[in-house]
Amino acid sequence: MDETPSQDHTVIVHPRPRSGLKWLLIILFALIIISGVIIAVYFLTHSDNTRGVTVVRMEGSMQTGDINDGETIGSEVVGKQLRDAADDPMVEAIVLRVDSPGGTPAAAQEIIGDLEYAKTKKPVVVSMGDMATSAAYYVSAHANRIYADPDTFTAGVGVIWKFSDISGWMKNEGYNISVVKSGSKKDMGSTSRPMTDEEEAYAAKIVHDSFEHFITDVTTQRAIARSDIEDGRVIRGADAVKLNIVDELGNLNDAIDGAKKMAESRSKSS
């Protein structure tokens, strides 16, 4: 009987390459490196004095809109920077550097809305430069603390609306303007004619109502006697401290240090 020798069939199983895990580890390592670089850049580009504090600059005449040309600063520009700083986890406090003669009440009100939002997240401190008057002080009054230099011009609380009348010159030069209008006050403020008594009374009411809103808000935010500011005069920083218009004399670095201390205090109490 023939015998057929048995054959052993050996199956070699090769381990599957763990390429998925390998790439996952590479990606995680890369993310760690990138995060480290970002953190290093942040700390290298922020001096010890400003680390954790963002300085937002409100410099120039204030208007609503998205404008920043060196002479005019828009409410949308300042507001966005305040909100971005408030939402940034790397920022502990905000210093609003103010160097402005004021601007429109509406611009101030828009910035105040964003400043109040920022205050819910972290301390907001104002550092006044050469000037922080009128609507610029309106905004500043909403900060947690205000620093000013001894010769900073501040306060100037008030509302003004100017009208020009060149009708006498136009008459002498032989100019004549015909106006067709839908309402008696539609061309109110035109330089080609004097204002009527009714128009002056209406303008005065607008100014008065705006001023009342302004001064009521300021004296609500800060313990300031209305009689100390209602005449609309500009006040030196050194005198403003005595009237509680500002809290402390100091420059931008002092305001930054103060903001950091407020942030530390808030962190300990939370």
Which residues are tagged catalytic? 134, 186
| DSSP 8-class letter at 122 | S
CA atoms within 13 A on the CB side of 29: 6
| Dihedral (CA of 131, 254, 214, 155) sign | negative
**Cα–Cα distance, 58 to 124 (Å, whole number):** 13
Q: Using an 8 Å Cβ cutoff, are 222 and 245 in contact?
A: yes
Structure tokens at 223: 């313990």
Q: What's the one-letter identity of residue 47? A: S
Say which residues have a Cβ less than 8 Å from residue 157's Cβ, sequence separation at least 6: 134, 137, 138, 214, 215, 218, 229, 230, 232
Q: Using an 8 Å Cβ cutoff, are 76 and 36 in contact?
A: no
| DSSP 8-class letter at 52 | T
Q: Using an 8 Å Cβ cutoff, are 58 and 78 in contact?
A: yes
